[in-house]
Amino acid sequence: MRNTEVSNTNSIYQILDCYEFFRNGGDELRKTILDLAKHHKRQHARKKTLYRAWEKPDGVFFVGSGSIRVFVEGQSGRNVTLYHVQPGELCPINLRAVMSGGVSLASADFSGEFSVATVSLAGYKKLINRHHEFRAFIIESVTARFEDVIRQIADVTTRTVDYRISQFLVQATKGDDRRSWLKVTNDDIAIEIGASRESVNRKLRALQGVGIVELGRGQIRLLQREKLQRMKASSGN
């Protein structure tokens, strides 16, 4: 039993060590959150539900590995990605639900080997009241996420599908000089940019026709980044 407790504490430490407030905070802050946090680990999955809209979350979550996609769903089944939560980042929608004692206003799924530590509402209040490093982290995180959501809404409502696909491909392959394959389906892209699968299919086939991308089964390779960036700039709104 003792070995299990030590292992769990080590796992929580590894998760929280992804967070700047934890690494740079004092010993008292680290001890407090280590005592409060619970560790949850889910097995590897390409995409699996973390929680659905109108469900109550277990607590404020801190991501140690994997990637969370937060999105809203329409009655037609079409959904729009609001933002992604990576290790070391916070989800304001999750935070809002925990603080209000209510339900989540959006859904979330995860991919990859996923691990998360959670802190209850009582634990969150203890941290925010006693530790200024934690308060600063919350304020900065919420502000950054608010900007992300506004930017995403602006893109979906004012940018063309051509622009959004080009933007997605440029960002998803950033820093890739070897032109390696990006494992992503047309459905994945449609969900990310808030477009129909049919419009994404047409655009990708057109890009392949002019030699900008190469399409494979469930994967894409960007061949001419500079040309795609020029097309993105010219497509504008």
Residues 68-77: tens digit of each pLDDT: 889 988 776 6
pLDDT at 42: 67
With b for 16 or more beta-carbon neighbours within 10 A and e for fewer, the 122-138 pattern comes to ebbebbeeebeebeebb
- Taking all residues of the chain, what is their mean pLDDT, rounded to a whole number? 85
pLDDT at 76: 67
Asked if 44 and 133 sit in the same domain, the reply is yes
Asked if 68 and 51 sit in the same domain, the reply is yes
From CA 107, how far away is CA 112, in angstroms rounded? 17
Q: Is residue 135 within 8 Å of residue 124, measured between CB atoms?
A: no
Residue with tokens 């894409």: 220
What's this model's pTM, rounded to 2 decimal places?
A: 0.76
Asked if 104 and 26 sit in the same domain, the reply is yes
When pLDDT is averaged across residues 123-135 and rounded to a whole number, the result is: 95
Range of the domain at 166: 160-235
CATH number of the domain bearing residue 200: 1.10.10.10
pLDDT at 1: 44
